[in-house]
Structure 1
Amino acid sequence: MWLPRCSPLHVYRVQLRRFFTSTLALSLASVAVLLASLSVGPAGLSPRWLLEVISGRASQEVRVVLSIRLARTAVSYLTGAVLGLSGALMQGVTRNPLADPFILGLSSSALTVVAAALVLQPGLIAMRYYLMALAFAGALLGFTLTVAMSRLAGGSSTSLVLSGIAVSAFFSGLSHVLLYAVQRATGVPYILLLAGSASSALVRDIPYLLASAAVCLAISLAISKGLNAYLYGDEYSQQLGFNPRLLSLIASATASLGTGVTIAVTGIVGFVGLASPHVSRFLVGSDHRFLLPTSFLVGGVVTLVADVVVRLISMGSPYGELPLGSITSSIGGPFVAYVLLRWFRR
């Protein structure tokens, strides 16, 4: 059946085609990067290791190496996926293209609460679920403070970003002091928590991240239609039968949950939540039904690629491993400049 190009049904079909094409491409990219990630490390493994593992002929050494790399690979991918999804939610609920957990202060406030808990009780470092709950509360605190300051300053998009920068700077400075004390108590280098790292990832971290990723993705898809209406204002979303306050609360809590869980495992991995939604908009458009799952996949691929680059650069270095956040920030920085240029041109 022929449809005019401007008809909603035609637009939807085009977006659906783009979504399926992008999902297929990103899924293939995920598999390729996953295999590359499992192969990269100080202990070189030839590509035939996969056949050896499948056939059961792999040695104990190969199995141990793969279990360590599998944990790191899964944690890196899921961390990026959850952060990409959280960034898309934050940009939708704030109606601001510069919003992301890092810029709006969620990451630094979550890390501050985790650091404070570790100073008081260093033994909590082995209890990921407690740290995740504390980080979730910290992320909610940071977002609440950012929104409150923004409303006091007029509630504009600019005031939201500036409030987020202020909250982020405050908690970032506080977390530096606390993490220095944590390093003395636990021996964990605080730079890896400040700039993010998957080097300490464990197999037992995977179920927590996988569960939080599944919950966040399910909730996000459930509110995706409401977020589409929310972009056009509270009144419009109410006319379509959605509760804007409830949508805002659910989206904020979901983004805070995702941010908190990743902070507890890898520390701060900046700018993934900012860049992933913009790449996804280029691929599938602004419809949240397609944007949210695509941001999930893009975030996972970008972060896993960054982790592979970190390992390649740091291999054999006597100075330790490069933080993961240093690579993701190098990717995310140009996106900030790109979004700012587009914003001011309008």
Structure 2
Amino acid sequence: MTRTGLVFALGVVLLAALLMVSTAYGTTPIPVSEVWAAIRQGAGLSDSEMSPTHRIVFDLRLPRALFASVIGAGLGIVGVVLQTTTRNDLADPFLFGLSSGAAAGAVFVITVTGDILGIWTLPLAAFCGGLVASGIVLALVHGLRTSAPEKLILAGLAVSFLFSAITNYLIFSGDNRAAHSVIFWMLGGLGLARWETFPLVCAGLGLILAYSLYRSRWLDALLTGDLTAATLGVPVQGVRFKMFFVAALATAMFVSVAGVIGFVGLMVPHIARGIVGPLHRQLLPTAALVGAMLLTVSDILSRLMLSPQELPVGIVTTSLGSVFVFLLLFKSRNTMR
């Protein structure tokens, strides 16, 4: 087995262990044997046959653990794609207005309309808000007739500020009783993890992983610069637009059920490159694995740090991200010496 294969296999084992820990530990710790028994029984029991332990494990904690791993994996891959296509080591899914648009859609539902479509109302509103924001960014860049990375970043920042202003207006003009729900959602959380919406986040992960692997050679070429990539036959402008669109679509799916979870897409690509290098055929699966582990650990911490109260997972990832950025700054300073 190659070094990369061994590292990946060890990562899968570690992720499986973290998923078991996430399912077993919380406000009420549950023995691993009971967790495994509830998982094996699955959804085959009737309501009368389900024990309280089975309900906690199978209906609450297991979908939450799986959501954390899938969303973390997806955000990690999106971060790799955006950092490569923009040639910006600090790019992440929330630099381009995607989260701000999703937040505006979710806050509109929480403060104005309410759950008119049941459990799907909030995810659909956030998903549509993210798509609108990404559509505006793409329209701005298209109107400028350029796909230069700096223009894409500036357009994303402009849209992010716009939707942040809309979100703040909705918060102050809406029902004050919904403020706690708004703040918790904007800081990121996995409290909406349900089996019904699990296919949505799986679709987001499958979309970004499949397309980025399919275009991995073009992504490798972009590492050499636009001119060199163009001489190698890569349609640079088209690749950048398509990659951003797919990344935006996947991010909207993740944000629609988990809120704004920042810094995962920023940290994961750097960690993954340190393990397997910059080539995307190995980098993308590794980033998915690292992202899954990072968000799973963050979710465990968010539930245990203030137990029995739950801390928004975005606070944990932002704290880790700030430390990570400080380390990047010190590393770059030492490199320049």
- TM-score when normalising by structure 2: 0.84
Cα 1:55–1:87 shift into 2, 3 Å: closer
CA distance in 2, matches of 1:267, 1:69: 18
CA distance in 2, matches of 1:177, 1:135: 15
Cα 1:139–1:255 shift into 2, 3 Å: farther
1:216 aligns with 2:222: no
1:332 aligns with 2:321: yes
1:65 aligns with 2:56: yes
1:134 aligns with 2:125: no
Cα 1:335–1:55 shift into 2, 3 Å: closer
Where does 1:1-346 land on structure 2 (aligned, <5 Å)?
A: 17-53=2-38, 56=41, 60-66=51-57, 67-116=59-108, 121-122=113-114, 123-124=116-117, 126-127=119-120, 130-131=124-125, 133-141=127-135, 143-144=137-138, 164-165=156-157, 167-179=159-171, 189-317=181-309, 321-342=310-331, 346=336
Matched letter for residue 234 of structure 2: F
Cα 1:269–1:62 shift into 2, 3 Å: same
CA distance in 2, matches of 1:305, 1:45: 18
CA distance in 1, matches of 2:133, 2:288: 19
Q: Is the 8 A contact 1:82 1:299 kept in 2?
A: yes
Across the aligned residues of Structure 1 and Structure 2, the Cα RMSD in angstroms comes to 3.2
Q: Deviations over 1:208-258 (max 9, x none)?
A: 111221121101100111011012222322222221122112210121012
Q: Deviations over 1:178-212 (max 9, x none)?
A: 24666658687111111100022211121111122
CA distance in 1, matches of 2:284, 2:145: 27
Q: Is the 8 A contact 1:102 1:270 kept in 2?
A: yes
CA distance in 1, matches of 2:171, 2:192: 16
- TM-score when normalising by structure 1: 0.82
Cα 1:144–1:333 shift into 2, 3 Å: farther
Structure 1 residue runs of 5 or longer lacking an equivalent are 1-15
Q: Is the 8 A contact 1:112 1:171 kept in 2?
A: yes
CA distance in 2, matches of 1:182, 1:292: 42
Q: Is the 8 A contact 2:264 2:291 kept in 1?
A: yes
Aligned residues: 326
Q: CA deviation at 1:63?
A: 1.6
